[in-house]
Chain A
Amino acid sequence: MKIKPLQIVAHIILIIGVLLMVLPIWISFASSTHENVSILTEGMRFTLGDQFSRNYNEVLNEKGGWSEEVTAAKMFINSFIMALGIATLKVAISAMSAYALVYYRFKLAVPIFWLIFITLLVPLEVRIFPSYKIVSDLGLTNSYTGLILPLVASATATFFFRQFYKTIPDELLESAKLDGANAWSFFIDFLVPLSKTMIAAMFIFMFVYGYSQYLWPLIMTTAEEYWTVVMGMKIIYTESYEGVALPRTAERFAYIILSMIPPVLVVVFLQKWFIKGLIQTEK
């Protein structure tokens, strides 16, 4: 095979792109395997050190926080539960609301859809005080429900599901009706399996969205047992008596590396469907 100059240029660009993506992660990983002292004196590292097991062990098991009640492992679990809850409910609610908007041909379907859509202009950060007020009035602060619930409505996913359902031919619904399907069984037996790639793609997006939430859990939780990973990143290794101890940079890097694992796993497992969902629909 002859290699064309254009291909070489394309590959160089791609390689640069990959390096830009991978290098910071590699530096974090490499640095996380050194001693704090050596990072402090020699800066960040490109090579692996010998402190891997010590640092990671420390991160997973050491209790942190102001009152030293929470471990990094607990925060990973919290984040995972929050992200899973948000992603699952977002997908379920969006799919169902899109189903209602597309198939129940009531007059207000279009205005309601646009109403849902413009909520994109009001992200959580904008409505954070009213949201907090509601959640706290309901007594849901410091609970998983409180972490998840205010984030489960999704205009984006509703929009994508709506566009997808609109492409499903009417005959399919009519045929299913004649075969005795009711509203619920049409959703479960037809729309869900037909949109499974779409569901996978949405699930990934929403999982990552949920996992990387910072402000909401920060405001929502006062009990350390509900802390999430992203919050922890800021708080857990804050030096409580500054100047006395060494900054714990290596552990922080280890913590960052560990925090990437859950979303990566989700992407790896759903990747095949995810790509399918983005580029094609099985119809």
Chain B
Amino acid sequence: MSFLDLKNVTKIYPNGTKAVHETSLSINEGEFMVFVGPSGCGKSTLLRMVAGLEDITEGDINLDGQLINEVDPSERDVAMVFQNYALYPHMNVYNNLAYGLKNRGIDKETIEQKVNDAAKLLQISDFLQRKPSMLSGGQRQRVAMGRAIVRNPKIFLFDEPLSNLDAKLRIQMRLEIKKLQQKVGVTSIFVTHDQVEAMTLADRLAVINNGIIEQLGTPIEIYNNPKSLFVAGFIGSPQMNFLDANLNNKTLSAENFEIKNIDSDYNGEVTLGIRPEHLIESENGLINLKVELVEQLGSDNLVYGQIKNIKDFCYRSPGNQTIKKGNTLSLNIEENKYYIFDKSTGKRVN
């Protein structure tokens, strides 16, 4: 049995909303698991069930070999970092960190030792006497993490902790969380709707949609091999391009091009997915893209254009190129770098 084991966990709210459907998941000790999905997909509910803040309607959760379904949150030995940090506004930073330890009846010297160690690790030693209202967003974030670390819990739970920070700080804190987790080695679950955060932080990633884990795997596995239309569209930035097409006898025919010898026996209406970064310019390419907008990012350009009736088709070109609006680009797809999905079920068929 792994460290954290979710077995057929289901959450149905009293009003009948089914937030999480029979989800099973195993997380190994020391692993950094990320739950990613659009808002309202049930990822936070799942996390809160692990924390004990939501009741489990059906199923079992085992933590470190112990069934914790009915265990009170305070007894579960889990720590959580909240989206708005939920720092204790009337306590200074020291007491914010020490509160959980005091409740566990640890003696004063040990508490002081632990708080100081955690503060040093997070570089908040200088603010220990301040109230949270006197701290900046990044510092509050650190205090919130310090409060989790200081207790040395079995598992860290992060509920979108970076979404209140500005873009630059978010990237910095993302890096720090990852480093910290590697240093401390605590099993962690991180919930986010930001796929970049998910990709960069995760050892393993669970893409969740409508209360179901659509795909579970390492970030690269999921990026390279999305199993459904939803996962393909959700992971990757800019988003994957989707075109309607038909698949018949291993030949795919889209609006104005064909791909032959496709490795699939599926016949019928499909959706073709191509990532913007898997296109290359070439003479007599498959796709003719009429350029409408170019976003120059420096390192590369994002070219948006039209193919016949399909709008906002995106192509990522190297940054050293100048592409003008109104030009028509001839593009090829890199070998086998396309994804075909059953149009009705969204399942991958190639």
A residues with a Cβ closer than 8 A to B are: 169, 171-172, 174-182, 185, 189-190, 193-194, 282-283
Interface residues of B in 134-178 (CB under 8 A from A): 147, 151
Q: B22 → chain A, closest Cβ, in Å?
A: 25
- Quick check: is B103 within 8 A (CB to CB) of the other chain? yes
Is B233 part of the contact surface with A, judged by Cβ < 8 Å?
A: no
CB of B329 within 8 Å of the partner chain: no
Whether a CB of chain A sits under 8 angstroms from the CB of B238 is: no
State the CA gap A185–B102 with chains docked (Å): 11
A283 engages B89 (CB within 8 Å): yes
- Residue of A with least CB distance to B79: A178
For B53, list chain A residues within 8 Å (CB): 174, 177-178
Which residues on B are within 8 Å of A, measured CB to CB? 51-53, 72-74, 76, 78-80, 82-84, 86, 88-90, 99-100, 103-104, 147, 151
**A/B interface sample: 16 pairs, CB < 8 A:** A171-B82, A171-B86, A175-B80, A175-B82, A175-B86, A175-B147, A176-B99, A177-B53, A177-B72, A179-B151, A180-B74, A185-B103, A190-B90, A194-B90, A282-B90, A283-B89
Residue of B79, B82, B84, B151 with most chain A CB atoms under a 10 A cut-off: B82
B82 touches A174 (CB 8 A): yes
CA separation between A171 and B87, bound complex, in Å?
9
**Would A180 and B100 count as touching, CB distance under 8 A?**
yes
Chain B residues in 8 Å Cβ range of A189? 99
Q: How far is the CA of A177 from the CA of B78 in the complex (A)?
A: 11
Where chain B touches its partner, the secondary structure class is loop
> In the complex the two chains form, what is the Cα distance from A181 to B72 in whole Å?
11
CB distance from B7 to the nearest CB of A (A): 23
Partner of A178, one of B74, B84, B88: B74
Contacts of B99 in A (CB 8 A): 176, 179, 181, 189
Does A179 contact B86, Cβ atoms closer than 8 Å?
Answer: no
Contact A172 B100 (CB under 8 A): no
A171-B84 contact, Cβ under 8 Å, with A180-B100, A180-B104, A283-B89: yes
Contact, CB under 8 Å: B90 / A169: no
B74 and A177 contacting across the interface, CB-CB below 8 Å: yes
Are A172 and B88 neighbours in the complex by a CB distance under 8 Å? yes
A182 contacts which chain B residues (CB < 8 A)?
74
Q: Report how far A175 CA is from B80 CA in the complex, Å.
A: 7
CB distance from A283 to the nearest CB of B (A): 6
State the CA gap A194–B51 with chains docked (Å): 25
List A contacts of B80 (CB < 8 A): 174-175, 178
Cα separation A185 to B78 with both chains bound (whole Å): 19
Nearest residue (CB) in B for A281 is: B89
* Chain A residues positioned under 8 Å from B103 (CB to CB): 179-181, 185
